[in-house]
Amino acid sequence: MGVIASASPDGKKFTSIGGQAVLEGVMMRSPGFVAVAVRREDTRRIVIKHDPYSSITRRYPVLARPVLRGVVTLVESMVQGMGALSFSAEVASESEKAAKNEKVEKISRTELVSSMIFAFGAGLLLFVALPHAITAVLTSDRFLGISTQSPIFHMIDGIFKMAILLAYVWAISRMPEIRRVFQYHGAEHKSIYAFEAGDDLTVENARKYSTLHPRCGTSFLLFLVLISIAVFSIVLPVFGLTNFSETAWKNHLGMILAKMVLMFPVAGLAYEVIRACACRMEQPFFRMVIAPGLLLQKLTTIEPDDSQLEVALASLRQCLRLEKSVETEKSGFEVGALSELGYRPAAVAEFPEP
């Protein structure tokens, strides 16, 4: 995940402009559009695709309330992220097959939805079911003998959850393909920083900024784990969600399902924590709170090269071009360089977050 949304330099106003790294490219999302820029391997040109976007919170304002808006943002980001990944995979496939004069097959909507469901399910199994199962074995009467009603049980569960998250991020960061995605992740953050500072969106300006951003999805994942420990320790015992049956395995299955459902409100809380900290980064306490998330980003962001920065800036420029009603080419056009893609400067406060 990339930047969930951005803060203005004064730390008081937010915009829904954020992004996500994809295969050889970057997706940027503004209040009204989603743009994806991807570098073709064969021609080295930048392919840019855009689509109109309207958050469901505009149609149903109740969903823009605290906690609920975090859940909506998570779901919408997942859907848009899978679409952007699909597009970047198609561009990569086109580049590879063009050299071999082979026909390129588009990824169907059914395949895309199936991939998203599989990824979501795999995430729940890996970060919810697996740590709970390990904890259940370790705390059974045969070993530690700790009751599921004890906060210690859920703290141990949280420790395993955190360990799995860190191990997973570290492991994928060693893969060459993922390292390139993490470079584009860094390019996305640098581009957002340049936008927040009011700089012209050029490679030279973006290059100087950090790859670490306080509202990054990586930080969101970390807070998701930490907050889940506190929530599960309180909610499950208090509401009797640790005793579904006299059979132990049925109890644990019930708790796993309950945790999967509770991950949605927990995600909303994590979003609010990051939002609160990001607008108060000038205060030592909030810098301390967000620091672990920035530290974890050292694994998920890598210093990009200028060509990767160019792609990230192209995606951001395209969003701003569309938001400022500049006449643009149809979706799916290509440019040879960032200089071919003009734009009108825009301020963070012009696109307030709902």
Is the model more confident about 349 or about 142?
142
User: What value does the mean pLDDT take over residues 233-253?
Assistant: 89
Q: Does 178 reside within a domain? A: yes
For 277-333, what is each residue's pLDDT tens digit? 887 888 999 999 999 999 999 999 999 999 999 999 999 999 998 888 756 567 889
For 330-346, what is each residue's pLDDT tens digit? 788 999 999 998 877 78
Please give the biggest Cα pair distance in the chain: 69
- Decide if pLDDT at 12 tops 70: no
- Decide if pLDDT at 153 tops 50: yes
How many Cβ atoms from other residues are within 10 Å of residue 227's Cβ?
Answer: 19
User: What value does the mean pLDDT take over residues 14-34?
Assistant: 87
Q: Does 297 reside within a domain? A: yes
Confidence of residue 206 (pLDDT cuts 50, 70, 90): very high
Is the model more confident about 136 or about 327?
136
Confidence of residue 271 (pLDDT cuts 50, 70, 90): very high
For 216-233, what is each residue's pLDDT tens digit? 999 999 999 999 999 999
pLDDT for the residue 54:
87
- Decide if pLDDT at 110 tops 90: no
pLDDT for the residue 223:
93
Looking at the whole model, is its pTM more than 0.85? yes
Q: Does 175 reside within a domain? A: yes
Round the average pLDDT of the chain to a whole number and report it.
87
The DSSP annotation for 320-351 comes to HHHHTT---PPTTEEESSGGGS------GGGS
| Domain total in the chain | 1
Q: Does 160 reside within a domain? A: yes
Is the model more confident about 152 or about 279?
152
Confidence of residue 3 (pLDDT cuts 50, 70, 90): low
Distance CA(347)–CA(111), nearest Å, equals 38
The DSSP annotation for 185-251 comes to HHHHHHHHHHHHHT----HHHHHTS-S--TTBHHHHHHHHHHHHHHHHHHHHHHTTTT-S-SSHHHH
Token pair recorded at residue 180: 């390139």
User: What value does the mean pLDDT take over residues 136-151?
Assistant: 92
Distance CA(179)–CA(33), nearest Å, equals 28
User: What value does the mean pLDDT take over residues 265-285?
Assistant: 90
For 36-55, what is each residue's pLDDT tens digit? 999 999 899 999 999 998 88
Q: Does 156 reside within a domain? A: yes
Q: Does 330 reside within a domain? A: yes
Confidence of residue 171 (pLDDT cuts 50, 70, 90): very high
pLDDT for the residue 243:
86
Strand-by-strand arrangement of the 46-52 sheet? 18-22, 25-29, 33-39, 46-52, 333-335
Domain that holds residue 81: 6-101+109-350
User: What value does the mean pLDDT take over residues 345-353?
Assistant: 74
Q: Does 202 reside within a domain? A: yes
Distance CA(267)–CA(216), nearest Å, equals 14
Q: Does 1 reside within a domain? A: no
pLDDT for the residue 10:
46
